[in-house]
Amino acid sequence: MDKKPLAVGIDASTQGVKALALGPDGVEAVAAVNFGKDLPQFGAPEGFAPDPDPAVRRAPPRMWEAGVRLALERLGAEADLGRAGALSGAAQQHGLVLSDAAGEPLSALAPIWMDRSTGAECAALDARFGAALREKTGSAAAERFTGPQARKAAREDPAAFAAAARVHCIASWLNSRLVEGGDAPVDPGSASGQNLMDLASREWNADVAAFTAPGLPAKLPRIVPSDAVSGSLAPAFALGGLRAGIPVVVWSGDNPDSLLGMGCAAPGEAVASLGTSDTFFASMAEPRTDPDGFGNVFCTSAGGYMSLSCFTNGALARDRVRREAGLGWDGFDAALAAAAPWDAGSLLLPWFAPESVPRVARAGAVANFGFDAAPPERRVRSLVEGQVFAMKTHSAWIGGAFKRIGVTGGGSKCAGILRVLADVFQAPVERLEGTETVALGAAMRAWSHLTGEPLAALAARLCRPALRVEPDPAAAPASAAALAAYAAFERETLAAR
Kindly list the residues in this chain that would bind ligand XUL in the complex (CB under 6 A). Answer: 13-14, 92-94, 113, 144, 254-255, 279, 296, 308, 310
- In the complex, the smallest distance separating the C-beta of residue 156 from ligand XUL, rounded to whole angstroms, is 22
- In the complex, the smallest distance separating the C-beta of residue 260 from ligand XUL, rounded to whole angstroms, is 14
- In the complex, the smallest distance separating the C-beta of residue 21 from ligand XUL, rounded to whole angstroms, is 22
- In the complex, the smallest distance separating the C-beta of residue 80 from ligand XUL, rounded to whole angstroms, is 30
- In the complex, the smallest distance separating the C-beta of residue 310 from ligand XUL, rounded to whole angstroms, is 6
Cα atoms in the 13 Å half-sphere on the side-chain side of 123: 5
- In the complex, the smallest distance separating the C-beta of residue 66 from ligand XUL, rounded to whole angstroms, is 18
Torsions phi, psi for 97 (to 5 deg): -125, 120
Which CB atom, from 277 or from 393, has the smaller least distance to ligand XUL? Answer: 277
Torsions phi, psi for 111 (to 5 deg): -65, 140
Helices (H), 272-427: 315-324, 329-338, 376-393, 415-425
Number of Cβ within 10 Å of residue 94's Cβ equals: 27
Asked whether 167 and 98 are in contact (CB, 8 A), the reply is yes
Which CB atom, from 296 or from 412, has the smaller least distance to ligand XUL? Answer: 296
Which CB atom, from 172 or from 296, has the smaller least distance to ligand XUL? Answer: 296
| Amino acid at site 265 | A
Which CB atom, from 232 or from 276, has the smaller least distance to ligand XUL? Answer: 276
Which CB atom, from 230 or from 255, has the smaller least distance to ligand XUL? Answer: 255
Q: Are strands 229-232 and 247-249 parallel, antiparallel or unpaired?
A: antiparallel
Residue 259, C-beta contacts closer than 8 angstroms, at least 6 positions apart: 265, 269, 271, 281, 283, 300, 301, 302, 306, 441
Which CB atom, from 254 or from 385, has the smaller least distance to ligand XUL? Answer: 254
Which CB atom, from 16 or from 85, has the smaller least distance to ligand XUL? Answer: 16
Which CB atom, from 190 or from 479, has the smaller least distance to ligand XUL? Answer: 190
Q: Report the Cα 164 to chain-centroid distance in Å.
A: 27
Gap between the Cα atoms of 297 and 275, Å rounded: 20
Gap between the Cα atoms of 479 and 425, Å rounded: 9
Which CB atom, from 93 or from 195, has the smaller least distance to ligand XUL? Answer: 93
Distances in Å between the Cα of 90 and the Cα atoms of 85, 172, 218, 239, 436 are: 18, 9, 24, 18, 12
Maximum alpha-carbon separation in the chain: 69
- In the complex, the smallest distance separating the C-beta of residue 395 from ligand XUL, rounded to whole angstroms, is 15
Torsions phi, psi for 53 (to 5 deg): -95, 115
Nearest to 487 by CA among 349, 294, 290: 349
- In the complex, the smallest distance separating the C-beta of residue 403 from ligand XUL, rounded to whole angstroms, is 23
- In the complex, the smallest distance separating the C-beta of residue 426 from ligand XUL, rounded to whole angstroms, is 26
Nearest to 428 by CA among 270, 216, 282: 270
